[in-house]
Structure 1
Amino acid sequence: MSNFTVQEQQVEAMFNGIAPKYDFLNHLLSFGIDKLWRKRLVKSIAKQNAKHVLDVATGTADLSIALAKRLPEVQIVGVDIADEMLEFGRRKLKKLKLDQRITMQKATSLDLPFSNGLFDAAMVAFGVRNFEDPIKGLSEMQRVLKSGGTISVLEFTTPKYAVIGWLYKFYFSRVLPWVGKLVSGHKTAYTYLPMSVQAFNERESFNELLEQSGFKNAQYVQQSFGIAAIYTATKP
């Protein structure tokens, strides 16, 4: 897409490069805990009985699939900047016979191609830290939500507990990049991951970004000893 920034083009190329091994590595490197976190996020959205949901930075549609299985009536639109990720996602949807309820399209979070107030809920898993301009991306998500609509964000955080924090940093900085490179064949993608997590505004700081983006009642719940967090907020 010609309107992608240079940084977005770099992120797009990186994720296109790891697309064939993306799902496998996600589950391997997180020891499968990422599935539990997605289930918890989906559970929070299911309570709202949302009918029309936007999944930003959808990747290969794991989060959309989990929500569609939980809510039989939901219609989901997933957007991502990486063509290869979208293609793998579409194959999964067709195999699971969910392609009539989940559609996927290429788009940047900084300029969502949807009208104001279209969706009941918006969600993003492990994608906000890749936004070139987090406030602009979150503001776009706020724009396309209906009044009273909710945003749910799943992201990694740095554990505060000393021992767990040390193990986490060691795993993220030493083990994860090595295994990621070995399996995916991509030199930089799994070095980028720990750097992007380290640079991310987490916990109260991310709640502040949500408020600055026009949301209210921003809060978060830590997951698995603070390895990740689920953030939620509402559009006034």
Structure 2
Amino acid sequence: MNVRGEEKTKFVHEVFESIAKNYDWMNTLLSFRMHKLWRRFAMKKMAVKPGDTALDVCCGTCDWTISLAKSSGTGRIVGLDFSANMLKVGKGKVEKAGLDGQVELIQGDAMQLPFPDHTFDHATIGFALRNVPDIVQVLNEMKRVVKPGGQVVSLELSKPSWPPFRAVYYLYFERILPLLGKWFAGSYEQYRWLPESLMQFPGYHELARIMAEDVGLQDVQVYPLSGGIAALHIGRKPEVE
């Protein structure tokens, strides 16, 4: 299943529209709750200050959007996603958290963010960069909309570097995970896409290089998590370009 460009966009959109209602609890099941710990680590490293503004790109069901809003307290937080069904689930969670006065949710395209230059203090993308048609384009858009000195942050699945662990991980990710998707969510093809999307995605060292050299972010920091199962990347927009 090698899909690219517009075909990939259409396919990924259909995947997330179809799995939205089961997305949260399946994430918890498939990651053994690790995604919550990884996001908590990301928030600690970001050090969001009271009043900071943030854009959560490909916000999905808004877990990271909500964390950003709680850390900021008063700053404008925007969640953007192309899936109406994911946003519908996220909207319910935002309202339940009492954050609907602070958080704005927008259906839009990560490849063409509908915001002026230098708008936000932070731009984040969680577990979605591997699904976009053009990684560099999306990162450039995130860089464009943050203020000079602002942070561009990616939290994403990655590839373990230790060969024995990598072999076990790939076995789980390629063979077992799609079956769990079939058994618990009735979505075999959709969850088969997840390991395939990772195989096409750069490793965490290469992604750090892309952020620094191709996108032009400064002070790029990379943090492999849980033996390289996931990785956090944080870069800063130059003060002067």
TM-score by length of 2: 0.92
* C-alpha distance in structure 1 between counterparts of 2:83 and 2:190, whole Å: 14
Alignment RMSD (CA, Å): 1.5
The alignment partner of 1:151 has SS state of strand
User: 1:67-101: CA deviations, max 9, x gaps?
Assistant: 22333233210111111000000011111111111
Q: State the match for 1:136 in structure 2.
A: 137
Q: Which amino acid aligns with 1:139?
A: N
The residue that corresponds to 2:221 in the other structure is 219
Q: Which residue of 2 aligns with 1:116?
A: 117
| Residue-pair matches, total | 233
Matching residue's letter, 2:235:
A
Say if 1:50 and 1:121, in contact at 8 Å, map to a contact too.
Answer: no
- Return structure 1 stretches of 4+ with deviation > 3 angstroms: 47-50
Summarize the Cα distance change of 1:27–1:98 in structure 2 as closer, same or farther, 3 Å threshold.
same
Which AA in structure 1 matches 2:95?
A: K
Distance between the aligned counterparts of 1:148 and 1:48, measured in 2?
14
CA distance in 2, matches of 1:183, 1:54: 32
C-alpha offsets along residues 104-156 of structure 1, whole Å, 9 cap, x if unaligned?
11111110000000011111110100110111111111111110001111111
Alpha-carbon contact 1:160-1:226 (below 8 Å) kept? yes
Give structure 1 stretches of 5+ with no counterpart: none
Distance in 2 (CA, whole Å) between partners of 1:178 and 1:223 is 25
Q: Secondary structure of 1:194's partner?
A: helix
Moved more, 10-19 or 48-57: 48-57
Q: Secondary structure at the match of 1:210?
A: helix
> What is aligned with 1:21?
22
Which residue in 1 is equivalent to 2:206? 205
Contact conserved, 1:50 with 1:120, CA < 8 A, in 2?
no
Q: Secondary structure of the equivalent of 1:103?
A: strand
Residue 73 of structure 1 corresponds to 74
Q: 1:50 to 1:149 in 2, by over 3 A?
A: farther
Mapped to 1, the partners of 2:11 and 2:161 lie a distance apart of 31
Q: What code does the residue aligned with 1:122 have? A: A
**56-65 or 71-80, larger mean C-alpha shift:** 71-80
Q: Distance in 1 between matches of 2:210 and 2:183?
A: 36
The residue correspondences of 1:88-103 to structure 2 (distance < 5 A) are 88-103=89-104
Moved more, 63-72 or 100-109: 63-72
Q: Structure 2: how far apart are the matches of 1:93 and 1:112?
A: 21
State the percentage of identical aligned residues. Answer: 35
CA distance, structure 2, for counterparts of residue 50 and residue 225 of structure 1: 34
Question: SS state of the match for residue 147, structure 1?
Answer: strand
> CA deviation digits over 1:170-190, x for unaligned, max 9?
110111100012222223111
**Secondary structure, aligned partner of 2:101:** coil
1:170 corresponds in structure 2 to 171
Counterpart code for 1:227: I
